[in-house]
Amino acid sequence: MKDRFSDVGILLERAKRGDNKAWNKLVEHFQNLVYSIPARMGLQTEDCNDVFQTTFVALYQNMQNINEPKALSRWLAVTASREALRVRRLGSKHQGEVPEEITLEDLLVLEERSAEEMAIEALESDKIWAAVRSLPDRCKRLLEVLFSRENLSYEEISRMTGMPVGAIGPTRARCLEQLRKILQKEGFFEQEVVSQATGGGS
């Protein structure tokens, strides 16, 4: 299977050399990863838009120093989460929303940890969805439905995917197994789970 990071690596190198189209593709490739972080932190739309813009301006300014395509997604996630945290703090300051029962120092530590967790979760989610996109169409469609909606009956899944009810169970198992194998090959399960990984730097 083609290494999906190779495409990102090529785009990054081209963008560094001034290729506008490569930059556009990088923005499209990572837009969901970057935008999901402030959105999941509960920022207002306008703030999410600002975090998104600031993150890509920072990427533009720093891309000459990013050499590993795998490091790029992490760099973006961490930058977006730190910027989102900064924006959220500014908002809290104006509204005086610091809880009284914990100290400001504790609050800052908790917030930073939560921002870091958010970045890692977003990265992991991004990896899973990238792997889903590499599956055959039938699997892709079924997993998209399964992952995007809660508690669907087999009849509903059948209606949404056009798959016979009797085929859903075996196909679902086969597709998830394929997905698991792809992720295993990429070392996904060798990484620490989110709750244990928050002490790590970028």
Partner 1 sequence: MAEKTGCSRFSEELVGIAIGEEHPEALEHLKKCPNCSEKLEQFKRIVGTAKISRFDAPEDVIEKAKDIFQQRTAQRAQLVSSTLAMEGIRAAHQGSFQNIYSWDDHRMRVMYVKTEKGWEVISSLPSKEWQVKVRGKRIEPDEALRISFLAKELKQTTFTLEGPGITVEIPAPSVENNERQRSG
Contact residues: partner 1, CB under 8 A? 15-18, 20, 23-24, 27-28, 31-32, 34-36, 39-40, 45, 48-49, 52-53, 56-57, 60, 63-64, 121-122, 124-125, 128-129, 132, 143, 146-148, 150-151, 169-170, 172-173, 176-177, 179-180, 183-184, 189, 193
The minimum distance between CB 55 and partner 1, in angstroms, equals: 8
The minimum distance between CB 104 and partner 1, in angstroms, equals: 29
Rounded to whole angstroms, how far apart are CA atoms 102 and 28? 40
Q: Which is nearer to partner 1, 149 or 159 (CB)?
A: 149
Hey, what amino acid is at 131? A
The minimum distance between CB 188 and partner 1, in angstroms, equals: 8
Q: Which is nearer to partner 1, 111 or 121 (CB)?
A: 121
The minimum distance between CB 20 and partner 1, in angstroms, equals: 5
The minimum distance between CB 95 and partner 1, in angstroms, equals: 23
Burial of 148 (0-12, 13-18, 19+ CB in 10 A): exposed
Q: Which is nearer to partner 1, 42 or 200 (CB)?
A: 42
> In terms of Cα–Cα distance, which of 122, 108, 114, 4 is closest to 52?
122
Q: How many CB atoms lie within 10 A of CB 128?
A: 16
What are the residue ranges of helices labelled H in the chain?
Answer: 4-16, 20-40, 45-62, 69-95, 104-133, 137-148, 154-161, 165-185, 194-197
